[in-house]
Each structure stands twice: as structure tokens, then as C-alpha cells.
């Protein structure tokens, strides 16, 4: 009698385990649709601009996925069709971690993004987006349910087109490889907002580094002030992340100052 009960209990436990595995597999197989919906929902909430993804392709065997056709719009007051347009983003991820509260992503490679830096008076489109990202979330805004543990973000083969220049001309320049590390916050996983903030700040710093090839000293000075204002406006968000977040902002600021000392 006792043996029979034990067998039934064992079969019940096995059945529950199988159901759990099947449910997890189904969720991972639907990961492409989940990631696409997440980017198109969280992106506009953080950056306050439209974000569209064409598709997300998942490779269960490789444990990775690729975001195809990412397009980020512009804030109000800017005429360019987009601020960022990326054909492909390769993400090396620990797919099972998507079922937990911390998503583990060893590396993200952004391949050949097309960046548009548009100047409008003393403002730029990237600066305005960075200010939006840096701004502390409102009390009424939903808090992110998951955090990210990202190893490194690489931006390779980028081209920046500078728009809004005098005479309606535009200039396109290649950007050097951008590598963003130290994406953890005091050793803890970061929020999507923190990851986007540090990546965008590093990218903007790289843009400023090549801007002197096409812009006047006054225009380059505008970019410097724009980035400084954006970082300053979000200092509360950075400080809330801990000492490492503050150090990351300081490194960006020091790098920026060294660029303009050379001008």
C-alpha cells in the first residue's frame, strides 16, 4: 500500500517536472516574439521616442538571438527620419536566464549602425534622447521586472551623419569601434535604463571625438555642453545605482574633457 502511494507520488513529481520543462521550452521558443515586444514597449518608455524592430531570430542550439532592423525615432523638433538605424544586433545570451529575474547576456554586438546626429540651435537629437534616458522615472511609471547582467557591448562599423548644418549640407563620418564595459551597478545587475544610458553616453562621446572633422569649434562646443547637460540632469539616476555608476559617468566626463583640451 505504502509502495503504491510512493509510486503514484513519484509519477506526479515526474509529470510536474516534465510540464515545467515543456513550459520553459515553449517560452524560450517564443523568445523572439517576447524580445521584440519588450524592446518596442520598454524602448519608447525609456527614450521617449518611437522604437521599431522588424524581427528577432532565436538560435536555441547556439544560445543566442539576433535583432533585425532596429529603428529609433527622433524627439519632437528634429526632422531626420531616425536617430539610429541598425540592420542587426547579435546577442550572446543565456536563454534559460530569461525565465529568471536576472537576464544574463555575456555580449552584445551592434553591427554597422547608421547614426544621425542632428543639430538644432544648442540642442541635438542624441542629447535630448540621452536626457530622457537619464531622467529618473516617475512614481507612476512601472518599474522594470527584470534586470540585466551584461558583460560587454560592442558597436562596430558605425557611421554618423551630421544633419542640420549651415547650408542644409550633411556630412557622414565613420566612427571607431566603441566598447562599453562595467555595465554592472555595484556588482549587481543593472536596469535596462542604466544599460541604455551608459551605452548611449559612450556612443555620444565617440561621436564628439570625430565631430571636429566636420564642425566648427562653436558647434563642437555645443555638443560638449549637450552631453554635459544630459549627464548632469541624470546624476540622481546614476548615483542611485551606486559608486560604480558614478565612476562610469566620471570616466565619460574625463574622456570628454580630454577631447576638447586637444582642440
Per-residue model confidence as pLDDT tens digits over 198-213: 899 899 888 888 887 8
91 pLDDT tier (thresholds 50, 70, 90): very high
129-169 tens-digit pLDDT: 998 888 876 766 666 678 899 999 999 999 999 887 766 56
Q: Which residues of 236-246 are buried (b: 16+ CB within 10 A; e: fewer)?
A: ebbeebeebbe
Domain extents in the chain: 26-261
Whether 45 shows a pLDDT value over 70: the answer reads: yes
User: Residue 147 in 3-state DSSP?
Assistant: strand
**115 neighbors 83 (Cβ within 8 angstroms):** yes
Cα–Cα distance for residue pair 76/49, rounded to 1 Å: 9
**65 neighbors 59 (Cβ within 8 angstroms):** yes
> Which of these, 57, 149, 135, lies nearest to 101 by C-alpha position?
149
Average pLDDT, rounded, for the chain = 77
> What percent of the chain is predicted at pLDDT more than 90?
26
Amino acid at each position: 500500500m505504502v509502495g503504491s502511494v510512493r509510486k503514484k507520488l513519484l509519477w506526479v513529481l515526474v509529470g510536474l517536472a516534465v510540464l515545467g520543462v515543456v513550459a520553459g521550452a515553449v517560452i524560450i521558443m517564443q523568445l523572439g516574439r517576447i524580445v521584440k515586444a519588450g524592446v518596442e514597449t520598454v524602448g519608447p518608455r525609456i527614450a521617449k521616442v518611437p522604437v521599431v524592430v522588424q524581427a528577432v531570430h532565436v538560435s536555441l542550439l547556439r544560445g543566442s538571438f539576433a535583432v533585425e532592423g532596429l529603428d529609433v525615432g527622433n524627439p519632437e523638433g528634429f526632422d531626420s527620419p531616425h536617430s539610429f538605424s541598425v540592420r542587426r544586433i547579435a546577442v550572446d545570451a543565456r536563454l534559460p536566464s530569461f525565465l529568471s529575474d536576472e537576464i544574463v547576456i555575456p555580449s552584445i554586438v551592434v553591427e554597422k549602425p547608421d547614426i544621425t546626429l542632428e543639430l538644432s540651435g544648442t540642442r541635438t537629437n542624441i542629447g535630448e534622447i540621452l536626457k530622457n534616458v537619464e531622467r529618473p522615472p516617475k512614481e507612476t511609471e512601472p518599474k522594470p521586472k527584470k534586470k540585466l547582467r551584461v558583460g560587454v557591448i560592442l558597436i562596430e562599423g558605425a557611421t554618423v551623419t551630421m544633419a542640420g548644418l549651415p547650408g542644409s549640407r550633411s556630412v557622414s563620418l565613420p566612427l571607431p569601434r566603441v566598447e562599453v564595459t562595467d555595465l554592472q551597478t555595484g556588482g549587481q545587475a543593472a536596469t535596462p535604463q542604466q544599460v541604455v544610458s551608459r551605452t548611449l553616453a559612450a556612443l555620444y562621446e565617440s561621436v564628439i571625438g570625430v565631430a571636429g572633422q566636420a564642425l566648427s569649434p562653436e558647434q563642437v562646443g555645443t555638443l560638449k555642453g549637450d552631453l554635459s547637460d544630459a549627464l548632469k540632469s541624470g546624476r540622481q539616476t546614476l548615483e542611485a545605482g551606486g559608486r560604480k555608476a558614478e565612476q562610469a559617468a566620471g570616466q565619460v566626463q574625463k574622456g570628454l574633457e580630454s577631447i576638447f583640451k586637444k582642440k
